[in-house]
Amino acid sequence: MKILKYINKNRTFLASILMMFFVGRLMAQTEELTVIDKIVSKVDNYIILKSELERSFIQVQAGGDYNTTKCDILEGLIMNKVMVAKAEIDSVVVEEDMIDRQLDMRMQGVIGQAGGDPKKLEEAFGKSMEEIREDLREQVKEQLLVDRMQTTITESITVTPSEVKRFFKNIPQDSLPYFSTEVEIGQIVKKPKVSKEERDRIVNLLLKIRSEALDDGVDFQVLAGRYSEGPTGPRGGNLGDIERGQMVPKFESAALKLKNNEISMPIETEFGFHIIQMIDRRGNIYNARHILIIPKYNDTDYKIAGNFLDSIKNLIQNDTLQFNKAAKEFSDDKETSPNGGFIRDRSGANRISVSDLDPGLFFTMDTMQIGSITDPMKFTMADGKEAMRIIYYKSKLPPHQASLDLDYQKIYTAALTAKKNKQMSDWFKDARGEVFIEIDPEYNNCNILQ
């Protein structure tokens, strides 16, 4: 089961397949499909369409992965459906509020791909945000069920150092992987701060909205649909049931001080400015709505952030401050800050292949000397927002054949993957006897059920 390598190597593989299918399905509404659609596999009540398989394959290749075959992808999609079907049999469920929160994050990602403008997304696909959201909901639910099942199946799997060494020794010398050029590269990110003028504008707007709800009797949900800039706006700002500890502290602290139907004064979090309406609270679970206004930044705001990074750069270059300590203390990038600012590869190693760097980072690094730090520069973060950063090019490792000394983290991950593969393979053999699986004869050569 080759696809298991991809599932365990990168837990986001199936999520990527689902997102690829979602985007591809939307795109199919604006262009003529060249594939005559048909069902290529059935798993209990779930089906896999040929168009789904073809679009997933095209998207994987577009991402530069030419080793993954259609059989690999079909096997992964069938594995998905088997886990979802088994979840139904075993009464494994995913809470609706968890689906909603994950859906909110996915919607932010889709909006980011549209340049951060929801209206552009609606225009591109001829659908409202609510309709696009509903199209994505089933894929998100399936993803969460798959994640929960996979975690349950493999969560107890570990490997010891001796197992890692034994795994490496069992790889034939002529089969050892050859790694391309790798670099240690880090960043310190600083988001712009909200100016006093912008803060006052937003607070006054939220106070006006709050007054419309309290004094004029306008339904909070109507106001959220009219004003909120967050992904929950189209559904009245409803967040659903929230377990205590799931929201950022400032938001939760303000929410939990409210009585039922009470509306908070404006508060600020890392996402923007909010007013919150408490619906009800049951022990550690509460249900709330909110209206979010996202600040707008000007050139001065970015310049101030850049000046701060410039001072950090000077301290590092004068050996007054170490880069990794500065990143942990000052960087606003939650993904790299805990790693001392360094970008990690999928195995968790601090070295990353240059082919895996995003284009902006790659071309910047290509102009740098090892050991150098760039001046502050503006860039676009994964969520589509802009910030400032400095980049540190620490080291470069030329292409080389895998070794325990240089590549322990990668080999550890490969050993763990192999062990999880075995566990998943055994589980699949048992599970497929409990569900109905049918595959179109066109794909008999994939040998998925053997």
Label each residue of 121-145 as H, E or C.
HHHHHCCCHHHHHHHHHHHHHHHHH
Whether the model pTM is above 0.75: no
pLDDT band with cut points at 50, 70 and 90 for residue 379 = very high
Query: β-pairing, 285-293 with 272-282?
Result: antiparallel
Residue 270, phi then psi, degrees to nearest 5 = -65, -15
What is the average pLDDT across 36-41?
87
Question: Does residue 353 have a pLDDT over 60?
Answer: yes
List residues bridging with 273 in a β-sheet: 268, 293
More confident residue, 417 or 107: 417
What would you report as the CA-atom Rg of the chain, rounded to the nearest whole angstrom? 25
User: What would the pLDDT profile of 169-189 be if each residue is shown by its tens digit?
Assistant: 999 998 998 999 999 999 999
Of 22-26, 103-107, 254-258, 343-347, which one has max mean pLDDT?
254-258
Query: How far is residue 426 from each of residues 7, 153, 257, 432, 443, measured CA to CA in Å?
Result: 15, 10, 50, 10, 22
DSSP letter (8 states) at residue 441: G
- Name the 3-class secondary structure at 208: helix
Q: Are 449 and 428 in contact (CB under 8 A)?
A: no
- Name the 3-class secondary structure at 44: coil
- The residue whose two tokens read 């983290």 is 409
Q: How many CA atoms lie within 13 A of 444 on its CB side?
A: 2
More confident residue, 95 or 287: 287
List residues bridging with 107 in a β-sheet: none
Distance CA 211, CA 222 (A): 14
Level-2 CATH architecture, domain 196-293: Roll (3.10)
Burial of 135 (0-12, 13-18, 19+ CB in 10 A): middle
pLDDT for the residue 437: 94
Q: In this predicted structure, which of 1-10, 229-238, 354-363 has the lowest mean pLDDT?
A: 1-10
More confident residue, 243 or 15: 243
Phi-psi region of 342 (alpha: psi -120 to 50; beta: other; left: phi over 0): beta
Residue 268, phi then psi, degrees to nearest 5 = -115, 135
pLDDT for the residue 418: 93
pLDDT band with cut points at 50, 70 and 90 for residue 6 = very low
CA 402 to chain centre: 29
Q: In this predicted structure, which of 109-113, 270-274, 354-358 has the lowest mean pLDDT?
A: 109-113
- In DSSP notation, 372-397 reads -BPPPEEEE-TTS-EEEEEEEEEEEE
Query: How far is residue 121 from each of residues 103, 133, 238, 295, 367, measured CA to CA in Å?
Result: 16, 11, 22, 21, 35
- The residue whose two tokens read 């199936």 is 14
Q: In this predicted structure, which of 27-31, 206-210, 368-372 has the lowest mean pLDDT?
A: 27-31
**What is the dotted CATH code of the domain comprising 178-192+298-401?**
3.10.50.40
186-218 as b/e: b if 16+ CB within 10 A:
bbbbbbbebbeebeebbbebbeebbebbeeeee
Among the listed residues 83, 98, 122, 88, the one whose alpha carbon sits nearest the alpha carbon of residue 3: 83
Tallying the residues shown for the chain, one arrives at: 450
Q: What is the mean pLDDT of the chain?
A: 88
Please enumerate in sequence order all residues whose Cβ is within 8 A of that of 324, keeping only pairs 6 or more positions apart, or say none: 186, 340, 341, 342
pLDDT band with cut points at 50, 70 and 90 for residue 15 = very low
pLDDT for the residue 360: 87
- Domain 178-192+298-401 and domain 196-293 have a common topology: yes
The CATH number for 3-162+404-446, chosen from 1.10.287, 1.10.4030, 2.60.40, 3.30.420, is 1.10.4030
> What six digits make up the tokens of 425?
């393979």
pLDDT for the residue 435: 93
Question: N- to C-terminal Cα distance for the chain?
Answer: 10
What is the average pLDDT across 7-33?
44
Question: Does residue 398 have a pLDDT over 90?
Answer: yes
Domain boundaries, the chain: 3-162+404-446, 178-192+298-401, 196-293
pLDDT for the residue 255: 94
pLDDT for the residue 115: 66
Measured CA angle at 211 (ends 207, 212), to 5 deg: 120
Distance CA 103, CA 100 (A): 5
> What six digits make up the tokens of 189?
């990110």
Distance CA 23, CA 108 (A): 14
> What six digits make up the tokens of 172?
């034939």
Percent of residues, the chain, with pLDDT higher than 90: 64
What is the average pLDDT across 269-286?
92
